[in-house]
Amino acid sequence: MTKSLQAYRSNIPATHMFKNLIPKIFYEHMDDGLDLFVDGLGFEILYQDDDLAVVARDGAKAYIVQSPEYAAKDRPELSIETDVIDGIFQDISTRVPHLLHPNGKTVSLKPWGAREFAMLDKTGVCVIFRQWPDGE
């Protein structure tokens, strides 16, 4: 840890902490995002208007934003760490096999020690599921 980071952390009261980092994912059409997150991943819609949907599942949350301008600029890759990758893979591969990434459509052990599989929607948004060995 750098000295500046140590100094920064030493000045933060124990009651101040980051709770969640919530991605904002842009789509040309809102329905494409809802197809991946609600129909594919099983998130529930907490809020929705014409340009924004807030979706959540098991403590994970995302903002789905309809913005053709920003959707054209970036297609993100997101990772979800889990301790039940086989069950999640079984569910997704049974319900929505068309969303499995062509290069990650099975659970496999990666050189860095994690087991992973991935989903890819029709717009290029990639979601990687990752399970580290016990204790990591």
Q: What secondary structure letter does DSSP report for 92?
A: H
2 in any annotated domain? no
pLDDT of residue 19: 80
Residue 117: phi and psi, rounded to 5, are: -150, 170
56 neighbors 44 (Cβ within 8 angstroms):
yes
pLDDT of residue 69: 97
Amino acid at position 56, single letter: A
93 in any annotated domain? yes
Walk along the chain (136 residues) in steps of 10 and give the mean pLDDT of each run: 59 71 96 97 97 96 97 95 95 96 96 97 96 80
Distance from C-alpha of 75 to C-alpha of 122, rounded to nearest angstrom: 11
6 in any annotated domain? no
3 in any annotated domain? no
Q: Tell me the whole-structure pTM to 2 decimals.
A: 0.83
CA 41 to chain CA centroid, nearest Å: 9
Q: Tell me the Cα Rg of the chain.
A: 17
Distance from C-alpha of 32 to C-alpha of 124, rounded to nearest angstrom: 11
Q: Is 20 helix (H, G, I), strand (E, B) or coil?
A: coil
Owning domain of residue 104: 21-131
109 in any annotated domain? yes
65 in any annotated domain? yes
Sign of CA dihedral 98, 102, 108, 109: negative
CATH code: domain of residue 84 = 3.10.180.10
Q: How many domains does the chain have?
A: 1
5 in any annotated domain? no
